[in-house]
Structure formats: C-alpha cells, structure tokens
Amino acid sequence: MQPSSKMEHFQTFAKGKLKENRSALKNAIIYTRVSSKEQTENMSLDVQRKGCENFALKNKLIIKDTFGGTYESAQTDERNEFKRMVTFAKNSKEGISYIIVYSLERFSRTGENAIWLSRQLRELGITILSVTQPIDTSNPSGVLQQNILFLFSQYDNDLRRQKCVDGMREKLLRGEWVGVAPKGYSYDHSSNSREQKIVINADGRYVKKIFELKAFDKLSNTQICEVINKMGFKITMQRLCEMLRNPFYCGLISHNLLNGQVAKGKHPAIISEEIFLQANELMKKNAKNFHGYKQNKIEDNLPLKQFVVCAECNTPFTGYIVKKKNLWYYKCNRIGCKCNKSARHLHQKFEEILDHYSLKKQYVNPIIDAISELYFKRSSESFDESAGIKTKIAEVEQNLATIEERYALGKINDEIFERTSLKFKAEKKALEESLDNSFINLSNPYKTIAEAVEKVANIKDLWVSQDALEKQKFQFLCFPGGIQYDRKIDHYRTVNVNPALKLIDSISGNFDKEKADKPKAFFDLSASVVPTGIEPVSKV
C-alpha cells in the first residue's frame, strides 16, 4: 500500500473543518460609492468604476458583478447597496475572492466596525483590494496598516463633523437659526438677499396667545391645550411645554451647540422677554410644588450621570443618595426596569475600562515612533498624489479655457460648447473633491502625536484626578455618545470609542505579541505594500 493511500484512511480522523481555499480563484466584485446626491452629477463614480476595472484587468481578475454606483453615506454600514454587495460576496456559489474599491474610505468610514467586517471577510477567504492603497493583507503588518487606514477614515469623518458643528455654532452666535424654524415662524425665501430671514407666520398669533394664557391668566398647561385646540390650533401637551420653555419666541436663541450660552437672535420676537420669564416662573413654581424637591444638575459624586445608559432600555442613568448610609447610587428611571447600582461599583467598572486603554510605560516611545512613521509615510504619499491631482486640474482648466476661446471665435456651436464645457467642469469638480479628501496635515505632527499618546498612558489616573465637570468632558471625549451598562454581565459596552484611543490600543495590543524594543520588525510598512500583482506568497 502506498504511503499516500495509507494517509487517506486516516483522513476521517482529522479535526477541524477543511477551509475553502479561495486564494487560487480570480473572481472579484466592484463596489463604488459617493456620499451625496450632488456628487452623482460629477464624474466621481465613473472615475472609481474605470479605475477598478483597469485594476482588475491589470491583475487578471474576473469581474462577476458591480455594486454601488449611487450615493450612500459611509458613516454607517447599514447601506442597501453595501449590504447587498457583502451578502453576495459571502454567499456567491461561484466563490468571490476579492472586493475591489477605489480607496478604503469608499468601502467604509466606520472605523472599528470596518475592521471587524474586513476580518470576517478574510476568514471567508475574501480580500478587500484598494486601487489607490495597495496593501498585502496576507500578513499581520498589512492587516494592521489597513486597520489604521480604516480608523483614519473615521477620524477624518469626525474632523469634518467637528468643522460642520463649529460652523453651525458660529452661525448661532451671530443670531442665525439652523434647522427647521420653530412653530409660529417660517423662512422667507422671497428675499434675494443671501442673509437668512425668518418671519412670523399665521400660527404666530396662537403662540402669543399661549404665553398670555400662562403669564396673565395663569392657566394650567392642560387648560391652555383645551383653549388653543378649540381655537383650531392643534397642539399636544409635550409640544406646549417645549414652546413655553423656548426663548426663541422672545428673540433669543438657545441650542445644544452653544454649550450653555444664549445668543441674541436676528428673528422678530413674538412675545417680550418679560412675558417669557413670567410664564416660566409660574411653570417652575408649579413643578416645585408638584415634585416637592429640587434636583442638582451636576453632582461631584455622580460624574457618570447621563453618560451611562441602561443597555436594556437605553435610558440615561440618574442618581440619588441614601442619606442614612451616605451612599450614592445610579439608577435607570424607566418604569419597570429597576436597575440600581452603587456609584462606587460603577466607578470601579469604568476605571477598568480606562485601564484597558492605558499604556505600559515601555510602550509609549515605540508607539509614538510607530504612529509618527506611518503618518509621515502616508503624508509623503498624499503629497505626491496631491501634486498629480493639481497637474490634472491645471490640464482640465486649460482645456476649458480652450473650448471657451473656440466658442467665442464661433468655431463651435452652442450644443457642442455646452456639452463639452459641462464635461470639463464636472471633471474639475471631481478632481477638486479628491484633493479635498487628501491626508490630514498637522502643523507639528510629532508633538501632537506624542501629547495624545502620553495622555493615554495614564488615562485612568487622569480621569480620577479631575472634578465632576472635567470628568464628564473627558468621558465624552473618550467615548462620544456615552457608554451602556449591561447588568447581565455587570459591565459596560463601549458603543463609540475615540479613533485615537482605538488606534493606540490596536498598536499596543500587537506590541504585546512582539518585543517592545523591536517595534519596527512588526511595523515594517514597506513590506506590506504589494510589489507585483496581488496574489499572496505561496507557502512551502
């Protein structure tokens, strides 16, 4: 009996499941995407699709299907075309080995979730390939670099969101409202002026009557609802309370983005400031008489208040003190939930979470060097890409100037001029957007990276040493949107983690597997860039 045939008899005793080897397959799918409806009017989708097709042709891949081709925000992976693409890749009977995207941010900007999804796909033998960011994910170094780029994409999103928030805040401080106009107001679009104009509409008289019934007639909210509804202005009790507490109606602006400030608005007031204060003073007295107590908004012993939410019902935790024992507790106020926990216990659990993101002292300098090295590498690549894009923009502008000159001289008719100029303008807009999405430039990158890493090194001690107000600011900086407490496991669930924390934690986790004094052996990023083709190196 031959040795090979003898081994076949023992094959039934082998453990584990034989994995399907997709690496030899050449089947691939393409996914393209833009973020907004307006972007579909330019050539961005065509540029992505052609780039992916040329990439597949160059690497001898067989395109089985194309997905996307529309606008879908990458801030969430709950996208119709995206989900359809992932489902097809996982379940295709033909065996899909590659998902081709123009760049990794086209695939996803969700950071941590994108890392999780890419790992799930790799376990199925499916590799994500980026036309503009060729990375070999068959080795740990390449996987880490791809993960870092996913996190940078989310970080870029967060920066853009912050810029948008800052712009909205400045607008509010100037007295200009953002969003839907409150009941009783509407935007005046008849004016040719660029300046925002809000006017009082027909419902304004009902709003004025509501405040007068409260301030002068001293009616209860229930009575006011009855009177106003009979007048033909339908309003609920909840909406009534919101209106009575909104200083917009006396010419002021109050908004979450103003961080506790009130600004003077440019819109006309429906009531005077005196009537507004008088109405709210009556509401405050009624609330105090009804509840019989006054609640402190910020309590030094309850820094996690409104930051921690119940995992079961998503209700923010409030707090209270048992005076006889002088013990503080957090609780969920949802009726029937009955989730009460001692403040000391939840603080200890939160410190454990922070401890997870703390750094060992010997890792601080190597991590600073590793992140700085990656930053400068990507910054250099981005500079070269930006220079190439600027050259193309200059060429398009020259083509546009030429076509305008030929039109002015009567060498081409209106139809040809309009069609050609629109094409060049769309191409220029697409290139300018690509330029805007270039790598983030920091004025002093090494110092900025060093300061961030050094803070993370003692993140728990930093939180413990601060007062309640500073603790709350720090909490939301580390975990935007708060965290969930799950009493079934008696621990927290971190829903949204600061990208910088995730990046440092990812690198630190890999340092635990490698020697701390040899970080470059693991972060040899040049080895993760594919030199030729895309096929992984065969194992002997």
Cα separation, 251 vs 87, whole angstroms: 53
Q: What percent of the chain has pLDDT over 90?
A: 10
- Three-state secondary structure call for residue 122: helix
What pLDDT shows up at residue 383?
Answer: 64
**∠ CA(31), CA(32), CA(37), 5° rounding?**
140
Across the range 83-97, mean pLDDT stands at 83
Q: What is the CATH number of the domain that holds 45?
A: 3.40.50.1390
Domain presence at residue 277: yes
- Of the two residues 459 and 10, the one the predictor is more confident about is 459
User: Does a structural domain hold residue 153?
Assistant: yes
Give the pLDDT confidence of 263-275 residue by residue, as tens digits: 999 999 999 999 9
Contacts of 389 (CB under 8 A, 6+ apart): 431, 434, 435, 438
| 243 in Cβ contact with 203 (< 8 Å) | no
The packing angle between helices 221-230 and 204-215, to 10°, is 140
Burial 158-187 (b: 16+ CB within 10 A, else e): beeeeeeeeebbebbeeebbeeeebbbbbe
Task: Say if residue 512's pLDDT is above 80.
Answer: no
Q: SS3 string of 201-233? A: CCCHHHHHHHHHHHHCCCCCHHHHHHHHHHCCC
pLDDT band at 296 (very low <50, low <70, confident <90, very high): very low
| Mean pLDDT of all residues in 205-209 | 92
pLDDT of 21 above 80: no
User: b vs e for 448-485, b when ≥16 Cβ sit within 10 Å of the residue's Cβ?
Assistant: ebbebbeebbbbbebbeeeeeeebbebbeebbeebbbb
Question: How much is the pLDDT for 120?
Answer: 77
What is the C-alpha to C-alpha distance for residues 94 and 245, in angstroms, rounded to an integer? 61
* Spatial contact of 96 and 89, defined as CB atoms under 8 Å apart: yes
Decide if 513 is inside a domain.
Answer: no
> pLDDT value at position 75?
53
Contact 517, 365 (CB under 8 A): no
Sheet architecture: strand order including 483-486: 308-310, 483-486, 491-493
Maximum mean pLDDT: which of 277-291, 381-395, 467-481: 467-481
Given 407, 436, 465, the domain boundary residue is 436
Q: Which residue type, as a one-letter code, is found at position 268? A: P
- Cα dihedral sign for 90, 91, 97, 102? negative
CB < 8 Å & 24+ apart, contacts of 16-21:
19/125, 20/95, 20/125, 21/125
Classify each residue of 502-537 as buried b or exposed e, where b means 16 or more C-beta atoms within 10 Å of its C-beta. bbbbebbebbeeeeeeebeebbebeebebeeebeee
Concatenated DSSP letters for 39-77? GGGSSHHHHHHHHHHHHHHHTT-EEEEEEEEEE--TT-S
Residue ending a domain, choose from 389, 420, 436: 436
Average pLDDT over residues 329-343: 86
**Average pLDDT value for residue range 274-297:** 67
Please tell me whether residues 96 and 60 are part of one structural domain.
yes
The answer to whether residue 327 scores a pLDDT higher than 80 is yes
**Lowest-pLDDT range of 17-26, 326-335, 383-392, 461-470:** 17-26
User: 384 pLDDT exceeds 70?
Assistant: no
Nearest to 184 by CA among 125, 115, 240: 240
Query: Does the pLDDT value for residue 43 go beyond 70?
Result: no
CA distance 175 to 132: 44
**Euclidean distance between CA atoms 88 and 96, whole angstroms:** 8
Q: Looking at 24-38, 293-307, 484-498, which range is the least confident one?
A: 293-307
Does residue 211 lie within any of the structural domains?
yes
pLDDT of residue 210: 92
Is 155 found in the same domain as 25?
yes
Predicted local confidence at residue 277, as pLDDT: 93
- The Cβ of residue 6 has, within 10 Å, a number of other Cβ atoms equal to 9
Q: Across residues 130-138, what is the average pLDDT? A: 82
Q: What would the mean pLDDT of 467-477 be, rounded to a whole number?
A: 81
Q: For residues 113 and 62, state if they share a domain.
A: yes
Q: Are residues 103 and 235 in the same domain?
A: no
Q: Which of 18, 17, 31, 23 has its CA nearest to residue 95?
A: 23
Q: Are 89 and 189 within one domain?
A: no
Inter-CA distances, 371 with 18, 148, 368, Å: 38, 9, 5
Task: Give the pLDDT confidence score for residue 519 in this predicted structure.
Answer: 35
pLDDT of residue 290: 41
Please state whether beta strands 27-34 and 62-71 pair in parallel, antiparallel, or not at all (unpaired): parallel
247 and 318 fall within a common domain: no
Q: How confident is the model at residue 536 (pLDDT cuts 50, 70, 90)?
A: very low
Average pLDDT over residues 13-29: 67
Q: What is the pLDDT of residue 74?
A: 47
Say whether 87 sits in a helix, a strand or coil: helix
User: If you average pLDDT over every residue of the chain, what do you get?
Assistant: 77
Q: How many domains does the chain have?
A: 4
Q: How confident is the model at residue 347, as a pLDDT?
A: 92
Same domain, 100 and 44: yes
How many Cβ atoms sit within 10 Å of the Cβ of residue 118?
Answer: 22
Rounded Cα gap, residues 524 and 145, in angstroms? 10
364-408 vs 140-173: helix axis angle to the nearest 10?
A: 70
**442 band by pLDDT with thresholds 50, 70 and 90:** low
Say whether 372 sits in a helix, a strand or coil.
Answer: helix
Check: CB of residue 144 under 8 Å from CB of residue 116: no
Residue 405 is part of which domain span? 379-436
Please report whether residue 241 resides in a domain: yes
What CATH number is associated with residue 246?
3.90.1750.20
What is the mean predicted confidence (pLDDT) over 238-244?
90
pLDDT of residue 36: 58
In a domain, 114, yes or no: yes
Q: Average pLDDT in the 12-29 region?
A: 67
What tokens appear for 146 in the block?
A: 């791809």
Predicted pLDDT of residue 244: 93
Q: Are residues 213 and 266 in the same domain?
A: yes
Asked if residue 432 belongs to a domain, the reply is: yes
- Measure CA 477 to chain center: 14
**417 shares its domain with 332:** no
> Could you tell me if 235 and 318 lie in one domain?
no
Query: For residue 494, is it within any domain?
Result: no
Q: What is the DSSP letter of 306?
A: T
Q: Is the pLDDT of residue 353 over 70?
A: yes
The answer to whether 73 and 35 have CB atoms below 8 angstroms apart is yes
Question: pTM value?
Answer: 0.37
Q: Find the mean pLDDT for residues 509-516.
A: 53
Give the DSSP letter string of 397-444: HHHHHHHHHHHHTTSS-HHHHHHHHHHHHHHHHHHHHHHHTSPPP-SS
Q: Do 189 and 317 reside in the same domain of the chain?
A: no
Indicate if the pLDDT at residue 478 is higher than 50: yes
Please check the confidence at residue 130 and state whether its pLDDT lies above 70.
yes
Same domain, yes or no: 328 and 416? no
